[in-house]
Structure 1
Amino acid sequence: MQGFLNLDKPFGWTSHDCVAKVRKLLRMKKVGHAGTLDPAATGVLPIALGKATRLLQYLPGDKAYKATIRFGVRTTTDDLEGEVISSQAVTGLNLEQIEAELGQFVGRIEQIPPSYSAIQVDGKRLYDLARQGVAVEAPMRTVVVSQIDILDWREGEYPELDLSIACGAGTYIRAIARDLGEALNIGGTLAGLQRTVSSGFSLDDSITITTLEAQVTDGSFVATLSDAPLEYLPSRTLAANDAKCWCQGQKIICEEQLLGENLRIYNENGIFLGVSKYLDGLLTPAMVFEPIS
């Protein structure tokens, strides 16, 4: 079996837990995932099966989330999983004040990842260093947030804001929660997170672990086609001889001007052969998915 599984990750599970469960259910060794989700987060976790694991590097970087920010609270992890650093009741905060600050978090922004994150500093994960009591500030990084919309606003002693956030790969929603709280001078932390879009997959089309178990039991599970999440890439169909040569590692002359550095390659029968680099009129094999003998 090969292809993708669009999994709705349950609360409390690590991404590794999900991969291990899928391996067991499908009785496969070669299983991988795209875009790690924290245990407290739920939602879209793309799972690659079989040879499709080789395509993970080519998946689109688009992400979208529904996030809940709780104001008046600061934690060590920038979410409710960490220790509370400070907690104070919030008075006088209104939606107009929040809207005035949200604009600075849209576009190309500078962001410091949470101290408890998978970012590596000198070859060590930040969360490992943090657990050892080693204080290391993560390096500033540039990320892209394309859109933020307010979904709901709940007043109270510790008011909460629900947001819809569309962003690029590498964006930490926990950092947005923390930094928005700091911009308002009251503190903030992430109280809930659901990923609704990831790497070309949508929550609307995802399935739960329970559904997967049922489908495996009754034999109805069908993996998403391996090239389905790559539709954002332009494609090229090769004639039989060119297709064979390309699959053997040879460069193929391409007379027409193509857009994009990476392309999907197909043979005349519509079979997905792999991903090619395009440069200076030549198609160079980058990853041969379906070789032709």
Structure 2
Amino acid sequence: MANKYNGLINIYKEPGFTSNDVVAKLRGILKQKKIGHTGTLDPDAVGVLVVCLGTGTKLVEMLTDHDKEYIAVCKLGVTTDTQDMSGTVVDSREVNVTGEQLREAVQAFVGDYDQIPPMYSAIKQNGKKLYELAREGIEVERKPRKVHISAITILDDEHLGDEHVFTMEVKCSKGTYIRTLCHDIGLSLGCGAAMAQLARTRVGAFGIDTAIPLSKVEELRDNGTLMDIIESPEYIFRDLDAIHVKTSARGLLENGNSFRKDNLVDENPDGVNDTEYDDEMFKEGNEFRVYGEDGTFFGIYRYSAKKKTFDVDKFFFEK
């Protein structure tokens, strides 16, 4: 049975929900099971959670790989077991940090950075999630993971105030723990630090300005306009060239079979698919968005110069 909704929806995750809570609630709201999210946010964190629906779930791994942007509030002078202010304070120190020292410490993390994941995380070690071990009072050695920070901008002019708090915008690769970044900045300054607040403001092309809360999803479902804010799976492939296949070869497409160049609509055909194909497009390994002659999106196909065929890479069509 085909899914009712297929594509990508930009959810604003509110505080108090886990990312899996959001998925569970959406399954109830949309009355379909095939739903997945593209990157965990801590329960206290807010912001962009891109959720894949139906055939869009084939994009979960791809979207998880996208760079992300955050705005984080970091408190100096305190260290906690969770690396954020929800945890138990394990150390407090006096803060004697100037704006210039803070700026230098923060910028030292820009670029490649070997980050040790926190114990309170969903990473598995020997089949058990680290946070489960942490709750049992067990701490295990974790291997550092290379992450990349492309930019850190301090948003409040390095003015810490009496609370020793600053706000920063972070642009980073997948797998980056912002609370660990806060913790490590505190270590480098010698006073400790913990994350006080976190908002994810961007995942790839999805920004916080277009994210909607779960209550809005229900409202749009009820008034019949929910499809207006669900992006088609092809949305994240919009940089790929599009090719259209003749109706006579539609059977090949519907079954996910390969096709050849002579199955493409003619160059400059009459009607909607007025397309010129350049032979330079058709090189070994090039990927294409593939549509039927009527504009139906079927998926992403890769060209094999050796076989002279377009072979399915990611298939999104549902009968």
TM-score (norm 1): 0.89
**Residue number in structure 2 paired with 1:2:** 6
Distance 1:145 1:225 in 2: 28
Distance 1:120 1:214 in 2: 38
1:14 and 2:24 aligned: no
1:172 and 2:177 aligned: yes
Range 170-179 or range 149-158, more displaced: 149-158
**Residue number in structure 2 paired with 1:95:** 99
Deviations 1:137-168 (A, max 9, x none): 22111111111111114434441111111111
Q: Which amino acid aligns with 2:66?
A: G
**Residue number in structure 1 paired with 2:166:** 161
Aligned residues with identical type, % of pairs: 36
1:31 to 1:249, Cα distance in 2 relative to 1, 3 A = closer
Deviations 1:50-88 (A, max 9, x none): 222122223361210001111001011111121111122
- Contact 1:234–1:259 (CA<8 Å) still a contact in 2? no
Q: Which amino acid aligns with 2:25?
A: K
Structure 1: give runs of 5+ residues left out of the alignment. Answer: none
- Report deviation, 1:187: 0.4
Range 78-87 or range 149-158, more displaced: 149-158
1:269 and 2:276 aligned: no
How many residues get paired? 291
1:289 and 2:294 aligned: no
Deviations 1:100-150 (A, max 9, x none): 122221112211111111112122211111112221122111111111111
Aligned to 2:75, what secondary structure does the other structure show? strand
**Residue number in structure 2 paired with 1:78:** 83
Q: Give the aligned CA root-mean-square deviation in angstroms.
A: 2.4
**Residue number in structure 1 paired with 2:269:** none
**Residue number in structure 2 paired with 1:181:** 186
Distance 1:150 1:58 in 2: 30
Aligned to 2:32, what secondary structure does the other structure show? coil
Rg: which structure is higher? 2
Distance 1:80 1:189 in 2: 6
1:150 to 1:236, Cα distance in 2 relative to 1, 3 A = same
**Residue number in structure 2 paired with 1:226:** 232
**Segments ≥4 residues shifted beyond 6 Å:** none
1:124 to 1:95, Cα distance in 2 relative to 1, 3 A = same
- Contact 1:276–1:283 (CA<8 Å) still a contact in 2? yes
1:48 and 2:75 aligned: no
Q: Which amino acid aligns with 2:110?
A: V
Distance 1:291 1:123 in 2: 36
1:252 to 1:148, Cα distance in 2 relative to 1, 3 A = farther
**Residue number in structure 1 paired with 2:198:** 193
1:280 to 1:182, Cα distance in 2 relative to 1, 3 A = farther
1:248 and 2:255 aligned: yes
Matches within 5 A, 1:138-153: 138-152=142-156, 153=158
TM-score (norm 2): 0.82
- Contact 1:66–1:194 (CA<8 Å) still a contact in 2? yes
- Contact 1:69–1:161 (CA<8 Å) still a contact in 2? yes
Distance 2:166 2:46 in 1: 18
